[in-house]
Amino acid sequence: MRGDLHIHSYYSDGLYSPAEVIKRAAEAGCEVVSLTDHDTFDGVDEANEAAKSLGIKNVTGAEISSYAGTKVHILAYGFSRTDSRFNSFIKEQKKRRRERAEKILAKLSDYGMPVPPSELGSCVSREISRPHIALAMVRLGYEKDFMSAMKKWLLRGAPTYVPASGIEPEVAIQEIRSAGGLSVLAHPVRIELDSYEKTALIKRLAAAGLNGIEAVYKRSSRASVKWFRELARSLGLFVTAGADFHAERNEIIARPQNNPVVLL
């Protein structure tokens, strides 16, 4: 069975609507998909409807940001969207995301590049990621293109970089579990740790109730897929596959405004 359990829409930092990305996944032969926007499940109804009309299955999903000395993303699947504790948790996650964005904007302002919050639009559900800021910087003429804005100002090592922080991955796993969901370590290949530290982290998360690892990730080498598959097997975890699709090019979230983002 073909599937893609890691897809973004314009409910976070993807370019397309849930209906559009799911149609693309179906055209690419997927029978099962999961819309996994960053720290939100606001697009899930639309994703379910689109999947149903195409005769495929959308698994309820989200990608939860966490931090263990480095950025760690946990994919959440099959959780209850009406669970009140999980809803409060997601609300807090959204708040932390906005607080980080505010810090970045304050730093950019100090560097003479003010970005008014009204420029961060095109994010339907107000979940702001660094790409939204990068695109605003291009529109305001501070940088020539998306990747220059990301590299020079927003990624690690840049003067106005604000490190990720947030909850421990164990907390994310616990919250997902308490809402009846399964948790999967997103893109382990991208975690910025050496292989010894990465193995230790994955063991720690497995002990905390992690259910799976996204061993098959876009552009991963065969060797890395094998490495993560074997580690998963040894820890009793399942493996998943995801493309982490945002858009074809880097110019993500460049589409016309939907709702303006309001930073609070």
Q: Which positions touch ligand AMP (CB under 6 A)?
A: 13, 38, 129-131, 150, 155, 164, 246, 250
Minimum Å distance from CB 63 to ligand AMP?
A: 8
Taking the CA of residue 110 as centre, how many other CA atoms within 13 Å lie in the half-sphere pointing to its CB? 10
Q: What does 150 interact with, of ligand AMP, Mn ion, none (CB < 5 to 8 A by kind)?
A: ligand AMP
Which among 27-35, 53-61, 68-76, 254-262 is the span making contact with Mn ion, rule CB under 5 A? 68-76
133 touches 101 (CB < 8 A): yes
* Residue type, position 178, single letter: S
Closest CB to ligand AMP among 25 and 237?
Answer: 25
Q: What does 188 interact with, of ligand AMP, Mn ion, none (CB < 5 to 8 A by kind)?
A: none
Residues 170-199 that bind Mn ion (CB under 5 A): 186
Minimum Å distance from CB 159 to Mn ion?
A: 22
Q: Which of 44, 244, 247, 261 binds Mn ion (CB under 5 A)?
A: 244
Closest CB to Mn ion among 175 and 244?
Answer: 244
Between the two ends of the chain, the Cα-to-Cα distance in Å is 44
What helix, strand, coil percent values describe the chain, rounded to 5?
40, 15, 40
Q: What does the DSSP 8-state code read for residue 48?
A: H
For residue 255, the Cα-to-chain-centroid distance in whole angstroms is: 19
Q: For Mn ion, which residue has the nearest CB?
A: 73
Q: Distance between CA 43 and CA 149 in Å, rounded? A: 28
Q: What does 73 interact with, of ligand AMP, Mn ion, none (CB < 5 to 8 A by kind)?
A: Mn ion
Interstrand relation of 182-185 and 71-77 (parallel, antiparallel or unpaired): antiparallel
Closest CB to ligand AMP among 159 and 180?
Answer: 159
